[in-house]
Amino acid sequence: MTLTMENQNSSKLKSIFLPFLSTSHIIPLVDMARLFALHDVEVTIITTKYNSTIFQNSIDLDSSRGRSITTHIIDFPSSKLGLPIGIESFNVNTPREMIPKIYTAIFILQPEIEHLFNVLKPDFIVTDMFYPWTVEVAEKLGIPRIMFHGASYLARSAAHAVEQYAPHLKTQSDTEKFVIPNLPDELMMTRLQLPDWLRSHNQYTDLMKVIKESERKSFGSVFNSFYELESDYFDHYKRVMGTKSWGLGPVSLWVNQDDSDKAARGYSKEEEEEKEEGWLKWLNSKPECSVLYVSFGSMNKFPFLQLVEIAHALEDSGHNFIWVVRKNEENEESDVFLEEFEKRVRESEKGYLIWGWAPQLLILENQAIGGLVSHCGWNTVVESVNVGLPTVTWPLFAEHFFNEKLVVDVLRIGVSVGAKEWRNWNEFGSEVVKREDIGNAIGLMMNGGEEEIGMRKRAKELSVAAKKAVQVGGSSYNNMVELIQELKSIKLAKVQA
């Protein structure tokens, strides 16, 4: 039966979005939920009280604009697990001994979440990859489950290739380079740069197999990416996985189009109001394209020796910089050093330290920013592309080393500090990147040479492509329309059955 546009539009979709308990996963999936609400889908986001504070300001803004989007709070089982109130996610300040308890909490919450799926009766669900069990729940309810990937198409393609072909097992040492097989580009890595679950079998290896199987059973997957950014890998991923997938990014660019959105994203309002005047006034006093933005994401801490190397590299570079740093309750020496460093660079007016959370979207858009020093977390990669800035890449954990390959080798909009060793997010690892290597990378990006000129040109071209992708007729816009129409068709077919 042919569906008319009128019939499809009369069938408003209801959805549930379920983000994982980590800021770097919550923010892009909530932005994606807001994107669906912008396209007239009724959205409910299920999360816990303290995780909701990361994004509730944005939801309130969207609701005030007449969009149908709400947050449903479920109680985190803190007392049952002996967790302090407020520890509900995996982040930089999560004490190491509490990590297993948070994983346990996810299992405890599963029946309540399943019950909500039954009560709220959504037409489809969008859930983080770390909730593979939701595909079975969706099957029981007879609705589509869409998996959210918080990584790039290249990263997922590369991980799949390493799983399938195990090229690292053919090398003679941890530092010998190998080519990742069956990819659109010749990308080289070492064993040390692979995630531990790919390097050798562990519990996470088993989890990733379960996640991959749940993706194959799902209706499809969504990525915070856009076709023009990694077109070869978008096509390759769909081909090798044999599943549907939609690139809907850059979601932060699409749903955060004015300063109130950008300021509200990812923080508690009171916290930011205290900070904004300082960093904004300092940035506005600097020449265009003269400031480095240095940030390593929401889940990273460096050991004292590494902080010393970063500080000296920034100071010795001669460039202005904003550095996002975090309190280290396990090492008072680090905090004392950073406080003394902060005082010195404030007096010289060369540097500004932001402690804790930083309004990254607003900072990156400031004309004074000339480039980033970044861990290659996917959210930051996409946000730097949005504004057309090059990056000094410093991958640390998760899929960061794969993302670095996209930024440096494929897109050629970044320069590497030469990080050699993958580590777990809550561990320091043994590698200390020296100030000379950090400084050399900064120089290549900021000192006006041919390499910098080329990187900036390519980054600006990608920024234009990102903006076009989310406009009417753009690749991500068309993907969004296509996905919603498919979901409406499924709903209408059920009604008519």
Q: 3-class DSSP state for residue 373? A: strand
- Round to the nearest angstrom and report the end-to-end CA distance of the chain: 12
Cβ–Cβ < 8 Å for 247, 227 = yes
What are the structure tokens assigned to 245, written together?
Answer: 């997938």
What are the structure tokens assigned to 321, written together?
Answer: 């910089």
Verify whether residue 375 is a known catalytic residue: no
Cα–Cα distances in Å, from 257 out to 31, 37, 65, 264, 382?
A: 12, 15, 13, 12, 15
Cα–Cα distances in Å, from 352 out to 74, 104, 250, 397?
A: 38, 39, 28, 26
The number of C-alpha atoms within 13 Å of 272 and in the hemisphere containing its C-beta is: 19
H/E run at residue 189: strand 188-190
Rounded to whole angstroms, the Cα distance separating 254 from 462 reads 15
Give the amino acid at 264. A
For residue 340, the tally of other CB atoms under 10 A from its CB is 10
The residue annotated as part of the active site, out of 31, 123, 128, 261, is 128
Kindly provide the b/e burial profile for residues 367-382, where b requires at least 16 CB atoms within 10 angstroms of the residue's own CB: ebbbbbbbbbbbbbbb
Q: Is the peptide bond before 250 cis (omega within 30 degrees of 0)?
A: yes
* Residue for token pair 């405890």: 108
Rounded to whole angstroms, the Cα distance separating 145 from 126 reads 6
Query: 23 Cβ partners below 8 Å, 6+ apart?
Result: 54, 89, 91, 266, 298, 299
Q: 106: burial class by Cβ within 10 Å (0-12, 13-18, 19+)? A: middle
Query: 90 Cβ partners below 8 Å, 6+ apart?
Result: 21, 22, 99, 102, 299, 425
Rounded to whole angstroms, the Cα distance separating 455 from 453 reads 6
Rounded to whole angstroms, the Cα distance separating 358 from 379 reads 14
Rounded to whole angstroms, the Cα distance separating 337 from 339 reads 6
Q: 3-class DSSP state for residue 297? A: coil
Query: 39 Cβ partners below 8 Å, 6+ apart?
Result: 480, 481, 484
Verify whether residue 25 is a known catalytic residue: yes
Q: 144: burial class by Cβ within 10 Å (0-12, 13-18, 19+)? A: buried
* Residue 428 DSSP one-character state: -
Q: 3-class DSSP state for residue 244? A: coil
The residues assigned a catalytic role are: 25, 128
